[in-house]
Copies of this chain bind each other. A is one copy, B any other.
Amino acid sequence: MNTLIKNVLAVLPNGSTKKTNITIKDDKIFSIGIVPEQFNADKTIDGQGKLAIPGFVNAHTHVSMTMLRSYADDMKLMDWLENKIWPVEAKMKKDDIYWGAMLGIAEMIKTGTTTFADMYGDMDKVAEAVEETGIRAVLSRGMIGAAPNGMAALQENCTLFEEYNNGADGRITVMFGPHAPYTCPPDFLKKVIEKAQKYDAQIHIHLAETEDEVKECQTKYGKTPIALMEDVGILDCGVLAAHCVHLSDADIAIMKKYNVRVAHNPGSNLKLASGIAPVKKLLEENICVGLGTDGASSNNNLDMLEEVNLAALIHKAATLDPLAIPAAEALKMGTYYGAKAVGLADTGKIEPGMKADITLFSMQGTQWTPCYDAVSLLVYSANASMVDTVIVDGKILLDKGRLTTIDEEKVIYEANKCAEKLTGKTLKN
């Protein structure tokens, strides 16, 4: 199928914008600029008044936790986990995982995300939701090595790899998901490495999220989490590391050496009071930093434009440097750097040959006026309800704000039913 996006203001790989035409052949961007004579469009999208960006890459989330959005907020981390989140998670069945994933994917597509990296349990149900909805995903089975089901979870991650890696027309990649150094002892991590190497798969892990985690790791192992991971050998596998809030200069040097890619989650780090990651320093060291929402229960949404906005804002104040992360750089973090972070080389840029993963924002209305600089307006003024069209792998998943592969009403109905059953609460809306 050939699609033409005509007269659209496109954000180019260098961060500048240009009024142009984008042609799409099957799953790839075919050309940018004058429409090639031999190109016959099956579908033409009027790009007038729209901004085309590479689709957002949500580099770290737990999509099925969307089911717990607003269930418990403004609490201390361990109180929140032990008394609210874990008891409900323990009751979750495959159906809850599926409808939680559908709810989250619906939200992600509506807010312009084309790829997400996920870590949770019962990931076959998340993979199913990815297959059905047409989004792109990097999936890993979240494993608590210290839990009784640690080895079973590792086996599930292997099965997930065998059944789904490169599945859904190549839209699914599978990674291994040991949860964190404080939940996965070195012995367990070594077993994970063995399997990851067997399948030539990469690792998705939480690292250095809180001060307490770093302190405990120092006490127990005499090392920071990053240094411990180097020792154990995890970093040899290719690592997507979520959070990385509390890092020493030595940690950063190790990360650079092993090309560790970071999923920075500003919304979640602020909300859970984890702190502000040293992102400016990481970028200066040429470490790849993408952006993630984390789970919706600690955010409370999956809106990547908000993360891009936060990334542009908070590091200016944290470093007292108004040039710390300019708008165009924040947008790259939410798109191209995110794609690199989750290990995908062929998405995240509007460029011929790349996967046709594109989001169009409507530039109508007061928040886009006057438009001296469209990228500034996107990052600092717009919101995700202004997403008009979303294309993944060349297929239109959102058309003028309407989901084409998801029955949104049904998803909301089913998600509410699951949520009421899980929590015993009557929902207000």
Contacts and interface: CB of A to CB of B under 8 A. Distances in A.
Within the oligomer, what is the number of copies of this chain? 2
Contacts of A427: 370-372
A9 B381 contact: no
Interface string A406-429: 001001100110011001010111
A300 B429 contact: no
A74 B314 CA distance: 13
Given A369-B69, A419-B370, A75 B322 contact: yes
Contacts of A324: 273
B380 A271 contact: yes
A429 to B, nearest CB: 4
A257 to B, nearest CB: 29
Contacts of A60: none
A103 B380 contact: no
A229 interface: no
A42 to B, nearest CB: 29
A365 interface: yes
A40 to B, nearest CB: 30
Contacts of A74: 322-323, 326-327, 376
B321 A273 contact: yes
Closest 8 A/B residue pairs (Cβ): A385-B385, A370-B419, A300-B380, A371-B429, A107-B366, A270-B313, A74-B326, A273-B322
Interface string A49-93: 100000000000000001101111111110010000000000000
A9 B76 CA distance: 28
A133 interface: no
23 contacts: A66-B366, A70-B371, A70-B376, A72-B372, A73-B376, A74-B323, A74-B326, A75-B322, A106-B366, A107-B367, A271-B312, A273-B319, A275-B317, A296-B381, A299-B380, A300-B381, A301-B367, A301-B381, A303-B381, A365-B412, A369-B412, A370-B416, A372-B428
